[in-house]
Amino acid sequence: MEDRANIHTLLEDADAFARSRLSEKRYGHTLRVARTAEELARAHGLDEDRARLAALLHDAARETGPEEFLGIAEEWEIPVGESERESPKLLHGPVAAELAERELGIKDEEVLEAIRTHTTGRPGMGPLALVLYVADKIEPARDYPSVGRLRELARKDLHGAAAEALRRAIAHNEERGRDTHPASLKTLDWLEADHTAQPRIEQK
Ligand SMILES: [Fe+2]
Ligand SMILES: [Fe+2]
């Protein structure tokens, strides 16, 4: 884990880094996710600064050109599957995690994991990664029918909220005839196997 003095410098650097790489709109989303991630971390007894750090950097590669992702992935030896070949922007999480490490010197593996897995999830993902995954889906500007109940659930049950968010993402893809990333399906299986007793929210 980063030491205290260091993390405050890192938070400032991460904020400036995100601001320099993102449109105003996406930087606004980033700040809302950061605030939401801090709140969720507090609610679940996790480190708020590390949650904020991951959130500030999660979309830092989101405005990389679609044609650039595969080249970067090859150069930095980031694994690329069929889904990433079809939709290279899926790589914005892994690429942002690499940037966090290379450009800002972040070594905190849980922070890097949270950034890396925020788009698809990963079976066995840790609490900080769950916080970021859920915060991204419920930040205050998100507006869809089940978001209010998901916000409520997230305060009490991170795993349940992540599972619910994944079910919603899968349903959303199905409606549009799109495949869901295999990591998301496996993550939902993992969450449901470990947390079968958690309440579900009705899909609308
Ligand atoms: Fe993202
Ligand atoms: Fe995001």
- Each residue's pLDDT tens digit, 115-155: 999 999 999 999 999 999 999 999 999 999 999 999 999 99
**Contact (CB, 8 A) for 15 and 54:** no
Ligand 1 center to 119 CA (angstroms): 6
Give the model's confidence band at 3: pLDDT under 50 very low, under 70 low, under 90 confident, else very high: low
Ligand sitting nearest the alpha carbon of 90: 1
Q: What is the pLDDT of residue 5?
A: 66
Ligand 1 center to 36 CA (angstroms): 15
Q: On the CB side of 183, how many CA atoms lie within 13 Å of its CA?
A: 18
Q: What is the pLDDT of residue 111?
A: 98
Q: What is the pLDDT of residue 204?
A: 44
The string of pLDDT tens digits covering residues 46-77 is 999 999 999 999 999 999 998 899 999 999 99
pTM of the model: 0.92
Helix ranges, 44-138 (H)? 48-57, 66-75, 82-86, 92-104, 109-117, 127-138
Ligand 1 center to 192 CA (angstroms): 23
User: How far apart, in whole angstroms, are the C-alpha atoms of residue 38 and residue 123?
Assistant: 23
Rounded to an integer, the average pLDDT of 82-90 is 95
**Contact (CB, 8 A) for 160 and 153:** yes
Q: What is the pLDDT of residue 46?
A: 98
User: How far apart, in whole angstroms, are the C-alpha atoms of residue 165 and residue 156?
Assistant: 15
User: How far apart, in whole angstroms, are the C-alpha atoms of residue 49 and residue 53?
Assistant: 6
Q: What is the pLDDT of residue 201?
A: 54
pLDDT at 195 over 80: no
pLDDT at 94 over 60: yes
Q: What is the pLDDT of residue 59?
A: 98
Ligand sitting nearest the alpha carbon of 135: 2
Ligand sitting nearest the alpha carbon of 34: 2
Give the model's confidence band at 197: pLDDT under 50 very low, under 70 low, under 90 confident, else very high: very low
Q: What is the pLDDT of residue 12?
A: 98
pLDDT at 39 over 90: yes
User: How far apart, in whole angstroms, are the C-alpha atoms of residue 2 and residue 100?
Assistant: 13
Ligand 2 center to 67 CA (angstroms): 20
The gap from C-alpha 121 to its chain's centroid, in whole angstroms, comes to: 8
